[in-house]
Structure 1
Amino acid sequence: MKTLTYEQLASILLAVIALIPSRAVRYTALGLLLAAVILCKIRLQSPSMQLSQLAVSLNHTEEYIREAMVEVPRSYSRLADQMRRLYDVTNTASCIKRRILRSETKASSWKGFRSLSTDIRECITRFRSLSNEIGECIRCVKNIRTAVELILEAEHQRRLASDLMEPQSALAVV
């Protein structure tokens, strides 16, 4: 079964809402739907959700590099350098997670909650800076993965070139 795209899902939901005969119920349903969409968007863009996505990306990239090290031992040093870069990003992600946990601890106490509620701008600024830092980490992981893919592709091209040269060298001997 095919999965629905966001546009198709939105069209279906709006069509269902349009079928509601009472205007009051229709607009209430539309308002609730809009509120749910906004809350889901906020949740998906929260630093903790982005951090969990980053952790998954880091794990997949680390596995990819390890497989590449086995597949292409000739480029081990370049792949090890990419692994080091990945560990640097992992360290940065760990520091960001520690800052998020500290801010959640501060927000859970009553004094922390009162101070956070009085200074909403500071919270939004902190939220944006954390999201930007996590976004930068995600971009670094993508760059590392691209670099590993380039190393693998260069090795495949080298193997193809050597395979092409083998028949020519065999013909030259004959």
Structure 2
Amino acid sequence: MVDEAEARALGTAALAEDVGATVLGPSHTLDQGWYFPVIAKQSVAVAGVIVNADTGRALQVLAGSSLERDPSLYDRGFQFEAYDVAVLAVANLDETVRAMLGVGERVVDVYYRNDRVYRVGRMLTEDEVRKRLSTLPAVFTGSPAYRLDQLDAALRAGWFEYRLFESRPKS
């Protein structure tokens, strides 16, 4: 178990690796850890850090993100940078499609032209999401840092049943 002082040190160290020197403000206690807003920093992209009380794992909170506006989302399971949302059942297809578009999954189209191979990233289309939801379970992967509140609202509304996992890239 990590106490607040240790959490502050872990948060400062985690931010130093990516954004340089930071000064953390007063902590906000969460059920599962602490949120420390950043009050002085070298990067405008990061607004704070949440440190898990059990594991000491730090999560950067991006400026303008859902976690900056509502750190309690962390206690509701949104504790990662990227997610795999496994949709198990659908009660409202249109709202589920809208929520899964918000996850922000990117796909890569690969094609050959002019003696070259091109890889072009793009977001899933509505038709692709609907097609994927036609066979359950359906998994959507993305980094919806700025839309976690919308995803949380959809989940709590009961538009679909799901399991939420941390998405980790292949190593």
TM-score, normalised with respect to structure 1: 0.26
More strand as a share of residues: 2
Larger Rg: 1
More helix as a share of residues: 1
TM-score, normalised with respect to structure 2: 0.27
Structure possessing the higher relative contact order (Cα contacts under 8 Å, 6 or more residues apart): 1
